[in-house]
Amino acid sequence: MTGVNDPGLAVALITAMLVVAGAALTLVGALGLLRLKTFYERVHAPTMGSTLGSGCVLLASIVLFSALESRPVLHEIAIGVFVTLTTPVTFMLLMRAAMQRDRIGGGDGRGETPNGDDG
């Protein structure tokens, strides 16, 4: 890009809607982290919020920069693949660690230790 380009009203509206949707999904995930009670409930909301929220923001980036540069800009897909693959794996590892801790006897079945802290 050599100068300031106008992406057009339609592209700007689509981009804005995708960014707002991504921010809203991430906010819902963060609120779920605060409002839910047990570890098993709390770990699910941010995982879904971050995956879907970042997906919407990445789509917005693809749409905007493809319109500005008049060619498909697809390198954001690599970021999306990375986030889509690593977030669920991290979720599964956290869940397995909490279940193992509960099985050994260090937890109360809710993913928390008997003294109330998660550490």
The C-alpha atoms of residue 30 and residue 47 are separated, in whole angstroms, by 9
pLDDT score, position 7? 82
Residue with tokens 């789509």: 59
pLDDT mean over 89-97? 88
Domain boundaries, the chain: 11-104
pLDDT score, position 118? 53
What are the two backbone dihedrals, phi and then psi, of residue 90, each rounded to the nearest 5 degrees? -60, -40
pLDDT score, position 44? 80
Give the tens place of pLDDT for each residue, 8-55.
899 999 999 999 999 999 999 889 888 888 888 888 888 888 888 989
- pTM of the predicted protein model: 0.74
What are the two backbone dihedrals, phi and then psi, of residue 107, each rounded to the nearest 5 degrees? -125, 175
Give the tens place of pLDDT for each residue, 42-89.
888 888 888 889 899 999 999 999 998 888 888 888 988 888 888 888
3-class SS letters over 46-91? HHHHHHHHHHHHHHHHHHHHHHHHCCCCCCHHHHHHHHHHHHHHHH
